[in-house]
Structure 1
Amino acid sequence: MNVILEVLCSILIFLLILSCSESKEEVAYQHSDDNVSPKETEVSDAKESLYVSKDRTEEEIMMDYEKPLRSYPTISSSESRKGEDGLIYRNGLEIPFTGRMIGRFEDGTISMEASYKDGLPHGQQLRRFPDGSPALEAIFDNGILSGIKTKWWGKGIIREEEYWSDGKYRGRRLWDQEGRLKREEIVPGG
């Protein structure tokens, strides 16, 4: 009876391990004893490099502004409009907007903060839940997503990280409402 129970437990553990992997692209390598082979290190480094953006950092992006961002106009989202060309304009003006835009909830708390340069999202974009905790954070470089775009469940629990580089979607990681990683996706050749 104990032998049958051990075999069943082994099969169950094997199936459980297989079902935990939801990744669309698996990277396989051989592991020899306690030594890490050079090939294994290369595979691990290659997989992690898919999450590293080759784009400019937020600090480099912010250097595009000729003066500190706080010295540019800050407007309410209700004071802006999207033109037919897809650019953001301040109401009543025909030049694309450069500065900060703030959105507010009905109670006056900040719901959204975004920076724009020449009508395009440029720099950090941040959205908040009504309690003030972050809902979304992204970095744009002249209207193109750059680096990591992060979404949260309420109360600061991470929900999703999307990885962008060279204007292309490269993959994402998803977490459940308890903060446990539940899925990891990599775009092959991304």
Structure 2
Amino acid sequence: MWAVPKRSQLARKIIISFVFAILCFNFLSVQVQASPSKTINVSNTYPSIFVTKVVDLTEVTLNDSFVVTITIRNIGNSTAYNVTFIDTLNAPWVFDVVGLTKISYSWIEPNQTRIFSYIVTALSLGEFQLHSARVYYRISDLADTEFLAFSNSLDIAVTKAEEDLSLADLNSAITFLLILFILNTILTLRFVAPKLNRKKP
């Protein structure tokens, strides 16, 4: 029976051990590199809603109006579902609103933007804050977990309008000045004129 020399068997064992070590090292390297990559990919698949609120005027006069513009943008990498926007303003005797302050969308895709506006009329004097608006959304139609995003808040100053002189006010002022002129003329003639007559030779 033919026998393999001992040196050949030893070399074969060394080669097999070396190849096995290389395979184990490559396998472990792939696992270590794949784990963080997998985590990043999962986290990037969620939607992310970004909300901003802006106004065309930050100072208005009483009973004047300003426009509030809302921008909703999905900056995530997946679609946001059941998106609901809610904006709660101050008491109705402070602001009167024309337009929708609650709007719902079935979905907003990645990098998609929704923009809408409403008009607010100032009914009270003072400085007020327009509180942050809220946006609720889900990662899928069947998801139970609801996410929440907030917009920025804004400060609004409501001042009293400068009163313009009406025609009646102007006539009253002219009449008052005319009366003062007549009284001044009468007093001058009564007290100054006699003194001048006495000084004549």
| TM-score normalised by L of structure 2 | 0.22
Q: Which of the pair is proportionally richer in helix?
A: 2
Q: Which has the higher contact order (CA 8 A, sep 6+)?
A: 2
- Bigger Cα Rg: 2
